[in-house]
């Protein structure tokens, strides 16, 4: 056996080395271990087995087309009601101009999410995606969470299959992983009772996968959830991945309390974030990639997370968009140049590899 810990982690270590699936109880044991180094070593073993020293990043841009939302999630400081002075909805033409600037800076992906807005016609989405594809055929459109798809299917009275096919035909290439928050009840209802429930979120992910649309998955942690809620979330994602196989990557999202209805909470500690990355890597044996989202972790902790199981840092973001700025621990502008991201990865001891959204390597001509 490669590992010999002075802790009760040895039994779990043997299973990890043998490539065996961990149970819910073992997920809890990993979370509650006092030996952070041992947990990190195990997750790093798994990460290096899959990806060696490679750490992926991409050149991307976020576009939050509207902040008007009928939900009022307790953790969210981004949403507005339509009557609010700072409520907005970007036009299709504005979306195209934002994409144009991003493409000029080398972006391969536009990440599009927004509020649940009853003032927007369905044609807005198909027009936006079609215009993006017409102008930038090689730009990957990663758009709409399962929560947005659920809202759209109900609001525009379409079957899930029809909705997904029409969005895909217009230019939606894949979907981001937001809206998963925490699956377990009653926690989910307490923080976001206007959103679809866990079964519905997972059902829609499965339907996207069946339609050939890859999706990501997230978990919002560090608010009112329990450790059991977190491990339950990971187990449910793992079960769905067994069934439909279309999740590309898992992104734990560290709760950022300021200006939200939960602003009295402290948010997760650095140790908690590292544990969450590590437990995710070890529990999600059927997910290829675990992302340390630097925007929410902050740069130094994101670097450290690469030693705790993460193999992706997300992207340059180029210009974060309003939602990204609302939840980022990086005060001020939320962006990094490609060189800054490469330096961040290399200074942490890894090899930086630019990827596209579906994890193909991006080769660029040297300048």
Contacting residues toward ligand V47, per CB under 6 A: 75-77, 176-179, 181, 216, 218, 220, 251, 253, 255-256, 260, 293, 296, 314, 327
Q: Among residues 294, 281, 165, which one has the least CA distance to residue 234?
A: 281
Name the closest residue to ligand V47 (Cβ).
178
Residues 6 or more apart whose CB falls under 8 angstroms from that of 124 comprise 92
In whole angstroms, how close is the CB of 36 to ligand V47 at the nearest point? 23
Are residues 170 and 126 in contact, defined by beta-carbon separation less than 8 angstroms? yes
How many CA atoms are closer than 13 Å to the CA of 6, on its beta-carbon side?
A: 4
Shorter beta-carbon distance to ligand V47: residue 33 or 108: 108
Shorter beta-carbon distance to ligand V47: residue 35 or 265: 265
Q: Which residue has the tokens 């999706």?
A: 215
Are residues 41 and 3 in contact, defined by beta-carbon separation less than 8 angstroms? yes
In whole angstroms, how close is the CB of 46 to ligand V47 at the nearest point? 21
Beta bridge partners of 62: 111
Structure-derived torsion over alpha carbons of residues 104, 105, 106, 111, reported in degrees to the nearest 10: -100
Shorter beta-carbon distance to ligand V47: residue 13 or 172: 172
Shorter beta-carbon distance to ligand V47: residue 33 or 174: 174
C-alpha 67/C-alpha 138 separation (Å) is 27
In whole angstroms, how close is the CB of 20 to ligand V47 at the nearest point? 29
In whole angstroms, how close is the CB of 317 to ligand V47 at the nearest point? 9
Shorter beta-carbon distance to ligand V47: residue 7 or 77: 77
In whole angstroms, how close is the CB of 96 to ligand V47 at the nearest point? 22
Provide the token pair at 63: 């576009």
- Residue 127 backbone dihedrals phi, psi, to 5 degrees: -65, -45
Number of other CB atoms surrounding residue 349 within 10 Å: 11
Number of other CB atoms surrounding residue 259 within 10 Å: 11
C-alpha 193/C-alpha 74 separation (Å) is 9
Shorter beta-carbon distance to ligand V47: residue 16 or 76: 76
In whole angstroms, how close is the CB of 260 to ligand V47 at the nearest point? 5
Shorter beta-carbon distance to ligand V47: residue 181 or 330: 181
């Amino acid at each position: 056996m490669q590992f010999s810990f002075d802790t009760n982690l040895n039994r779990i270590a043997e299973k990890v080395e043998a490539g065996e699936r961990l149970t819910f109880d073992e997920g809890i044991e990993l979370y509650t271990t006092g030996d952070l180094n041992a947990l990190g070593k195990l997750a790093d073993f798994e990460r290096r087995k899959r990806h060696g020293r490679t750490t992926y990043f991409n050149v991307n841009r976020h576009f939050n087309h509207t902040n008007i939302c009928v939900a009022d999630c307790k953790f969210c400081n981004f949403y507005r009601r339509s009557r609010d002075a700072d409520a907005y909805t970007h036009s299709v033409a504005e979306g195209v101009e934002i994409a144009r600037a991003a493409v000029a800076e080398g972006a391969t992906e536009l990440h599009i999410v927004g509020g649940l807005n009853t003032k927007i016609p369905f044609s807005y989405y198909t027009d936006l995606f079609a215009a993006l594809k017409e102008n930038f055929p090689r730009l990957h459109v990663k758009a709409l969470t399962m929560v947005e798809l659920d809202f759209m299917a109900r609001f525009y009275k379409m079957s899930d299959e029809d909705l997904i096919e029409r969005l895909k035909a217009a230019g939606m290439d894949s979907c981001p992983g937001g809206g998963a928050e925490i699956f377990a009840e009653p926690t989910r209802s307490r923080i976001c009772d206007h959103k679809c429930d866990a079964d519905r979120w997972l059902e829609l992910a499965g339907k996207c996968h069946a339609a050939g649309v890859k999706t990501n998955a997230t978990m919002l942690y560090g608010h009112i959830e329990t450790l059991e809620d977190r491990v339950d979330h990971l187990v449910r994602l793992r079960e769905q991945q067994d069934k439909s196989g279309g999740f590309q990557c898992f992104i734990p999202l560290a709760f950022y309390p300021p200006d939200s209805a939960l602003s009295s909470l402290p948010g997760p500690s650095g140790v908690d974030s590292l544990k969450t990355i590590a437990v995710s890597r070890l529990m999600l044996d059927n997910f290829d990639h675990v992302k340390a989202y630097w925007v929410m972790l902050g740069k130094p902790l994101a670097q450290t997370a690469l030693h705790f199981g993460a193999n992706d840092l997300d992207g340059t973001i180029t210009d974060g968009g309003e939602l990204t700025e609302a939840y980022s621990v990086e005060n001020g502008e939320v962006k990094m140049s490609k060189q800054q991201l490469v330096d961040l990865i290399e200074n942490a001891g890894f090899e930086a590899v630019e990827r596209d959204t579906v994890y193909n390597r991006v080769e660029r001509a040297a300048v």
